[in-house]
Amino acid sequence: MTMTLTPVIAVHMTAALAAVVLGPVALWARRGRTQHPLLHRAFGYAWVTLILVTAISALFIRNRHAFNIGGFTWVHLLVPVTFLALFGAFWKLARRDIAGHRRIMQGLYVSACVVAGGFTLLPQRFLGQLLWTQLGLL
């Protein structure tokens, strides 16, 4: 099976990769003794926007070669989880539950960027196929 880089996949990958890079800045800006609230807010909103673009664009990426229901695979379950987590994080923030907001956003970064991002490096996935082919391992 050969995969092609469609515009939707390009948008999805670009937003996801940018979220992986920007997320730690948003998280770091509120840690430690010296905090940077404006930096945290700017990078936080940018990160949330990128995660929303990533999740929404995922709905338009279908895989009819793997186990699926209507083209949606198990990885599409991350879309509603992402929406719920973002809603929960902002709900906590509105209620001034900063610790709850922090936990949700850190968990979302790890699950959406680190874990889901790691799965994209599997050899049968588009990005994994590109990487492993370039390294001469496929």
Q: Is the pTM of this model over 0.85?
A: yes
Token pair in block for residue 126: 């588009």
Low-confidence winner among 65-79, 104-118, 121-135 (lowest mean pLDDT)? 65-79
Q: CB-based burial of residue 118 (10 Å sphere; 0-12 exposed, 13-18 middle, 19+ buried)?
A: exposed
Instruction: Using pLDDT thresholds of 50, 70 and 90, give the confidence band for residue 129.
Output: confident
Check pLDDT > 60 for residue 1: no
Instruction: Using pLDDT thresholds of 50, 70 and 90, give the confidence band for residue 38.
Output: very high
